[in-house]
Structure 1
């Protein structure tokens, strides 16, 4: 799947959540809760990454667990990885390809981690 088609899927998953705004940040599409707190970034060969990927906010310890369990799919993204964010390769094919349920789950978890409790409870 090409980067544009992957972006469409990520955009749909993010914009389905309450009070989400999309705007570019650091040269890449990003999604913000109430226009302020970033919870997902779309990385299309961004910042030296050779892959099309999703960078997502994650609760403490989750990124390390995902990376340890599936290092071919998950990684520590530059700039935000030290804050617990996790990267997920979107350009994989076959059995490693991301399905829409998994995409929505990861995006929703990132949103819940960043959103105020009132918004998070609406999801």
Structure 2
């Protein structure tokens, strides 16, 4: 059985200057004090296992939600800021895609000095 939290944790913590802290009871990942990923398992009884990540805009969020509703959903609390939840349950999960979305989210939150130093 795949340990989704372990994959999310290893991916996030491999990125420069990342730290993990609990936020609202959820494993949450930060770079330079800015949140870029949050793991949720049955958050408020929703039955989902997801990682919440940033998008570049509400337009990108809408595009992802429309294009792949089996992969993406709008997360509680973070959705209004353009974040998406990426489904981590089931045999059809594309883990390389999950890793890429976490890394992209890190890039959106990371300070310019880290991006100029080569980023991820």
| TM surpasses 0.5 | yes
CA contact (8 A) 1:20 1:32 kept: yes
Alignment partner of 2:7 out of 9, 23, 37: 9
After superposing on structure 2, the runs of 4+ consecutive aligned residues of structure 1 that deviate more than 6 Å are none
* 1:44 match: 41
Q: Distance in 1 between matches of 2:24 and 2:94?
A: 25
RMSD: 1.3
TM-score by length of 2: 0.91
* 1:62 match: 60
TM-score by length of 1: 0.88
Q: Distance in 2 between matches of 1:47 and 1:39?
A: 21
The answer for unaligned runs of 5 or more in structure 1 is: none
Deviation at 1:21, TM superposition (A): 0.3
**Number of corresponding residues:** 117
The answer for unaligned runs of 5 or more in structure 2 is: none
CA contact (8 A) 2:4 2:88 kept: yes
Deviation at 1:98, TM superposition (A): 2.5
